[in-house]
Amino acid sequence: MELERERALRGWQLCVGRLAQLQDQGLQPGAASAKAFHQLCRRASWNRATQCALLQPNIVTYSGKVTVCARTSRWRHALHFLVEPQLQNIETDNIIHNAVITALDKGSRWRLAMASRLQVRRRQLMDLITCNALLSACEAKSLWQTAIVLMAELWDGGLRADVISYNTTISSHSHSEQWQEALRLCSEVSWQSLEQQVVTWSSSISACEKSAQWEQAVALLDELIAQRCRSDVIAYSAVISSCEKSYQWQAALQLLRDCIDTVGSDVIVYSAAISACEKSEQWQHALLLFWNVKDELLATDVILYNAAISACESLGKWQHALHLLEDMAESCLRGSTTTLNVAISSCQKGGKWQEAVALSNEVARSCMQTDIVTFSAAIAACADGSEWELAGVFLAELKNSKLQCDVVAIQAMLNVFFSAGQSRSAVEALAELRELVWGLIPA
């Protein structure tokens, strides 16, 4: 390892030294020297890249520095190294502009990336790499309309989109629930004689899933298999999730069986199937799937437990919810706030207010972050036990926290007071509710 580092360091020093020597002789580096320099920049650390500042600045050194900025998400430095050569009348090229856009994308500065696009277009430096970098920025922010415009500009400029362009554009549509446009783009990939990848199908399936178009998602999965592409767990999970949103739990179970037969067992696809059963209130099937995971010795996670506990919560199956919590602790997994919130709600719906309050206190003892759902569920549990004083304690804690007290919490508090015959306290809570409602109305 040390020998490799020494060799890398020597290579960096030799490259910088060679560039300095060429500049002393009044010569510009050739294509081979420039390529070697860029390759070293991609592997270099930020500190080494700044050593380029000691060289006489030219487009090669600036491109190298911006390349390192893109790799390390230093978008401010990348912009600096884009402006600086222009101030020195050094003409920039598409390499440096593409690297700047990549740095802006990685730094989540999509507006600046789109602004850079205007300069690239004006100087006619747009190439496929530029478009793909801009499309990546659109994907991160679900800017599907901008992505379509970029694809049109790509074709208008005489460039040919590749499968990366299509995959990124389809993904931006999947985040925005634009499933019809995603399907059109997926079909266009085959029209352009491009090799469709699993990610192409998965992104299209994801668009259908977010729009609850489960039949379209299943059809895409069938087409994926028919094209002899290797389907993966992500594709199956997205299709099963689309079944969840449409309450198609039987179809979800069949897809789970197909996935196990073709791809293999995985905790991700099991979690999706359990959630599908939970949404349709099929808690027995959900628990059966959960214990199948345990029997197959698959690595469980918090998401899997949350899905199983949620299945118990919908019908107030508090015994099973608490049993799952105990099993989770024995598996050395630390539950999230969502885990305990669902368990609290399960106990409350099952008429076990003492257990619900105990779990609420467990959240505080474990220094776990509470949210408005935690307090609302705890107060609702107190209402079932007519424990208005204890509910008042929870409400006081809620007020002292940084959380926004919402209508659900106040309504739960009213129920406690009315059930306990505390009309005065109910009137005070009602006044608080009135202030909250007026505060929610925009001025």
**Per-residue pLDDT tens over the stretch 365-390:** 776 778 888 888 888 888 777 787 88
Q: Which amino acid is it at 343?
A: A
Identify whether residues 147 and 118 lie together within a single domain: no
Shared domain for 85 and 148, answered yes or no, is: no
Residue 353, in any domain of the structure: no
Is the pLDDT score of 23 beyond 70?
no
pLDDT at 214 over 90: yes
More confident residue, 57 or 163: 163
Query: What is the radius of gyration, based on Cα positions, of the chain?
Result: 29
The residues near 41 (Cβ < 8 Å, ≥ 6 apart) are 49, 63, 64, 65, 67, 68
pLDDT for the residue numbered 251: 97
Residues 1 and 92 in one domain: yes
- Structurally, the chain folds into a number of domains equal to 3
Please report the DSSP string for 77-129 in residue order: HHHHHHHHHHHTTPPP-HHHHHHHHHHHHHTT-HHHHHHHHHHHHHTT---HH
Last residue of a domain, which of 68, 91, 125?
125
Name which of 134, 138, 188, 196 is nearest 163 in CA terms: 196
Confirm whether 295 is domain-assigned: no
| Mean pLDDT score, 27-45 | 50
Contact 33, 19 (CB under 8 A): yes
| Residue 152 counted as domain residue | yes
Q: How far is CA 297 from CA 147, 261, 266, 267, 294, in A?
A: 43, 17, 10, 10, 5
Could you read off the pLDDT of 152-203 as tens digits, one per residue? 988 888 888 888 999 999 988 887 778 899 899 888 887 777 776 788 888 8
Contact criterion met (CB below 8 Å) for 173 and 144: yes
Distance CA 438, CA 306 (A): 35
**Residue 236: inside a domain:** no
Domain boundary pick from 125, 159, 188: 125
Place of tokens 């408005």: 372
Report the pLDDT value the prediction gives residue 29, as an integer from 0 to 100: 52
- Tell me 297's DSSP state: T
Whether residue 60 is found in the same domain as residue 121: yes
Residue 401 Cα to chain centre, angstroms: 28
13 has pLDDT over 50 = no
Cα–Cα distance, 52 to 69 (Å, whole number): 13
**Domain match, 36 and 110 both:** yes
219-249 pLDDT, tens digit each: 999 988 887 677 788 889 999 999 999 999 9
Q: Is the pTM of this model over 0.85?
A: no
pLDDT per residue as tens digits for the range 404-428:
777 777 777 777 777 767 666 667 7
Residue that is last in its domain, among 125, 159, 182: 125
pLDDT at 2: 39
Give the ranges where 107-232 is alpha helix by DSSP (H): 110-122, 128-140, 144-156, 163-175, 179-191, 198-210, 214-226
> Is a pLDDT exceeding 80 seen at residue 344?
yes
Please tell me whether residues 1 and 117 are part of one structural domain: yes
Considering the domain architecture, whether residues 161 and 100 belong to the same structural domain is answered as no
Q: Mark whether 64 and 110 lie in a shared domain.
A: yes
Residue 258, pLDDT above cutoff 90: yes
* Residues 101 and 158 both lie in one domain: no
Is residue 353 a contact partner of residue 387, using CB atoms and an 8 Å limit?
yes
Whether 206 is in a domain gets the answer: yes
pLDDT of residue 158: 86
Q: What letter would DSSP give residue 25?
A: T
Is position 331 within any domain?
A: no
Question: In terms of residue numbers, what domain contains 183?
Answer: 137-211
Residues 436 and 378 in one domain: yes
Determine, yes or no, domain membership for 426.
yes
Q: Do 175 and 108 sit in the same domain of this protein?
A: no
Domain of 3, CATH number, reads 1.25.40.10
Q: Please give the pLDDT value at position 17.
A: 47
Asked whether residue 284 carries a pLDDT value surpassing 70, the answer given is yes
Q: What is the pLDDT at residue 223?
A: 85
Q: How many CA within 13 A on the CB side of residue 141?
A: 18
> DSSP label at 370?
P
User: Is there a single domain that holds both residue 119 and residue 144?
Assistant: no
Q: How far is CA 299 from the centre of its chain?
A: 22
Question: Cα–chain-centroid distance for residue 8?
Answer: 35
pLDDT band at 9 (very low <50, low <70, confident <90, very high): very low
Here the tokens at position 366 are 């474990």
Task: Determine, yes or no, domain membership for 406.
Answer: yes
